C-alpha cells in the first residue's frame, strides 16, 4: 500500500476515529439523582469546631450533622444531595433567611435514606459559609465519620 494512495488515507482515518471512540467512549455511569431535605436546627455550644459528621443508623438511614453554624432565629437550611454511582455531593444551602435578629450557634441535622449502602466518596460544601470537606464513608450500620470543615 502506497502512502499516497486513497486506501492508505481511508485506513488512517478509520484508525483515527477508532482511537477517538476508545478514548472518549461511553462510560457505564448511572444518571444523576438529586434529593433535597430540610435540616433540623437545634441550639449548640458556642465555639465548637466546624465539623461534618455522618453516622449510619440500624434502620438504613444516615444522620448528617453540621456543627459550628451561626444562624438567626427563624433561619432554615436545606441539604441538597447529588448522587452518581458511588460519588455523592452534598450542599448546604440557605432556605429562609431572617433579616432581623442576632446570630447564635446552632447545629443542623438531617436523617436521610437516599445514600447508597456501600462505600461512597463524599464532597460537602456549604454555600453560605464557604466551608467544605472531602472524605470516604462506608454506609454500614454503626459506621461513623467526622471531618473538620475547611475554608
pLDDT digits (tens, 9 = 90+) for 33-66: 999 999 999 999 988 999 999 999 999 899 999 9
What number of other Cβ atoms are within 10 A of residue 8's Cβ?
Answer: 12
* Phi and psi torsions of 18, nearest 5°: -65, -45
Summarize the confidence of residues 90-99 as an average pLDDT: 90
CA dihedral for 113, 53, 57, 72, sign (positive or negative): negative
* Phi and psi torsions of 6, nearest 5°: -65, -40
* Phi and psi torsions of 96, nearest 5°: -90, 135
Strands of the sheet containing 104-112, edge to edge, are: 40-43, 104-112, 62-71, 51-56, 144-148
Who's near 121: CB < 8 A, 6+ residues apart?
A: 86, 87, 88, 134, 136
Beta bridge partners, 92, equal 79, 126
- The CATH class given to the 33-148 domain equals mainly beta
Candidates 151, 24, 29, 32; CA nearest to 88 is 32
Summarize the confidence of residues 69-76 as an average pLDDT: 91
Mean pLDDT of the chain: 90
Cell numbers describing residue 143: 459506621
Question: Coil, helix or strand for 142?
Answer: coil
Amino acid 23: pLDDT = 81
User: Would you place residue 21 in the very low, low, confident or very high pLDDT band (cuts 50, 70, 90)?
Assistant: confident
What number of other Cβ atoms are within 10 A of residue 38's Cβ?
Answer: 13
Amino acid at each position: 500500500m502506497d502512502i499516497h494512495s486513497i486506501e492508505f488515507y481511508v485506513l488512517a482515518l478509520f484508525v483515527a476515529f477508532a482511537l477517538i471512540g476508545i478514548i472518549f467512549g461511553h462510560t457505564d455511569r448511572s444518571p444523576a439523582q438529586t434529593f433535597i431535605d430540610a435540616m433540623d436546627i437545634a441550639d449548640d455550644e458556642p465555639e465548637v469546631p466546624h465539623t461534618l459528621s455522618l453516622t449510619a443508623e440500624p434502620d438504613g438511614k444516615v444522620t448528617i450533622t453540621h456543627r459550628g453554624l451561626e444562624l438567626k432565629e427563624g433561619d432554615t437550611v436545606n441539604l441538597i444531595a447529588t448522587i452518581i454511582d458511588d460519588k455523592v455531593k452534598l450542599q448546604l444551602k440557605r432556605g429562609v433567611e431572617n433579616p432581623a435578629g442576632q446570630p447564635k450557634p446552632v447545629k443542623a441535622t438531617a436523617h436521610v435514606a437516599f445514600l447508597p449502602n456501600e462505600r461512597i466518596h463524599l464532597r460537602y460544601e456549604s454555600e453560605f459559609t464557604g466551608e467544605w470537606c472531602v472524605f470516604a464513608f462506608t454506609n454500614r450500620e454503626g459506621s461513623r465519620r467526622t471531618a473538620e470543615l475547611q475554608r
